[in-house]
Amino acid sequence: MVDSIHYGKQIIEFELQYSKRKSIGIKVLPTSSVEVTAPIGLGVDKIKEELLKKANWIIKQKSLMLNLDSNLVDYEVKSGYSVYYLGRKYKIVVEQSNKVEVFYKGNLFLINVKSKDKARAVFDKWLRERAMSKITEIAKPIIDKFSERFEAPEDIFFQNMSTRWGSCTISNKLIFNPKLIHTPKRCIEYVVMHELCHIVYKNHNQNFFNLLTMMMPDWEKRKEMLDCFA
């Protein structure tokens, strides 16, 4: 169902769905539309009350989505376009050069290539290698923290996934989407801890969320941030 709330002079429309979840979930999509998932049986008035508490955040996220130059995880490698790296927006500058290199300076990604039609391939290769290195670096202290209480693998793996940020296999192999490199460090930390908790509980049952909350008390705020990059 579609409903709305009034916040000052603004009207925030949202699509409401019910599920077996324990708390209200709010997601601002890249289209700037708002999805709300609420526990079964929770009254609309109570849902609107909670939405009003988050109204300022929703408006900021809607504004962010409306100002994006391109999809956060699908980008054009051409001068004038933008790409997100660790949650920060960088303008792309492609220049023809005898050197082939990628580096960033200030708020710019500078891509030097012998032929501009090779810019995408050069940048994608650099970004994937950077993602594997940086995500591993960010994951290490999270894995170390988890390992103080539970057994966890030392190595992590990477795989392109169209609908998931990460996964934990039956054999406890941790796999992460290189596209996480577009999201803030706090989001990467959340995904790593989320998948680590699946070593103990394979399903999203209450025990899983209790463990996640114990290991990372602010995970819901991190997830809200991550949802903006989905």
User: Which pTM value belongs to this model?
Assistant: 0.68
pLDDT at 67: 43
Whether residue 66 has pLDDT greater than 60: no
Contact 146, 196 (CB under 8 A): yes
Does some domain include residue 198?
A: yes
Number of independent structural domains in the chain = 2
Does some domain include residue 102?
A: no
Count of other CB atoms within 10 angstroms of residue 183: 26
pLDDT at 68: 34
Whether residue 192 has pLDDT greater than 90: yes
Element (H, E) at 39: strand 34-39
137, 210: one domain: yes
Per-residue pLDDT tens over the stretch 127-146: 999 999 999 999 999 999 99
Look up the domain containing 175 and give its range.
126-227
Does some domain include residue 94?
A: no
Does some domain include residue 86?
A: no
pLDDT at 70: 33
- pLDDT band per the 50, 70, 90 thresholds, residue 64: low
pLDDT, the chain, mean: 88
Residue 187: give its domain's CATH number: 3.30.2010.10
Q: Which residues contact 105 (CB under 8 A, 6 or more apart)?
A: none
Whether residue 72 has pLDDT greater than 60: no
Does some domain include residue 78?
A: no
Asked which of 61-65, 67-71, 122-126, 177-181 is least confident by mean pLDDT, the reply is: 67-71
Does some domain include residue 81?
A: no
Does some domain include residue 138?
A: yes
Q: 188: closest CA among 122, 143, 124?
A: 143
52, 135: one domain: no
pLDDT at 69: 34
Q: Which of 19, 39, 66 is the last residue of a domain?
A: 66
